[in-house]
Amino acid sequence: MTEHDDTAEQAGPPFPMPTAPLEPLPENWERALVIAAHPDDVEYGAAAAIARWTGQGKQVVYCMVTSGEAGIDTMPPEQTGPLREKEERDSAAVVGVDEVEFLGYPDGVIEYGLPLRRDVARVIRRHRPDIVITGNFHETFGGVMLNQADHIAVGKAVLDGARDAGNRWVFTELLDEGLEPWNKVRAIWAAGSPEAAHGVDITDTFELGVRSLEAHAGYLGALPGHPEPAEFLGMFARQAGPRLGVECASVFEVYPLMLY
């Protein structure tokens, strides 16, 4: 839930919640790259998992495709963008992430296509991650609750760009930039997907996830009726937890690119 989404005003989950058991995500990796459409996308469920992983000594980098400048109706984009970039950096720091990049695509009107695939491949070649994390890019969040267009475009570009990153003969201009192919991304993990079959225990880092969302104070304050972050995140984390046999969990859909 982000960008112009009013579902927070509802008392319970605004879409059907799965109940099937979850498999634990593997944690035998060292570097992850998170590619999301907007500042705050990571904080709606995945940030607590990232806090767990940085606490294990793993390296995580954030890449935001936009600066979220179209996300506050009462503030012009030239003011909103810098505010939301700062809030995202502050939010990332809460969960142990000290590197946040912004690609500068226009908020709300991202188009899937070759330029976006190229930029995804470029950032993957630069950071050389084991795991790439994005958000739900299905048409809905489950049932008929529609997803947002930027999320869909970015997620699809991540799927393709991760493979493009490993192909020397796709986007050969990246070779001219000194970026050699990187074909060692093990998997793409889509956080919050309604098709998720994997999860991670966030019981011990749930509060850090809450604080990371609270760092978006300017943005959240401009959303009428948004519930308290602890209430909203807890609703989903506590529903997912028993599926993994724990108190609180984050869910991910796994797209393997290599055998673990």
The model's pLDDT over 20-30, given as tens digits with 9 standing for 90+, comes to: 999 999 999 99
Residue 143 pLDDT: 87
Helix pair angle (149-164, 114-127), 10° resolution: 60
Residue 239 pLDDT: 96
pLDDT < 70 positions in the chain: 1-15, 259-260
For 240, residues 6+ apart whose C-beta sits below 8 A from its C-beta are: 22, 199, 248, 249, 250, 251
- Nearest CA to 184 among 124, 133, 99? 124
Residue 13 pLDDT: 64
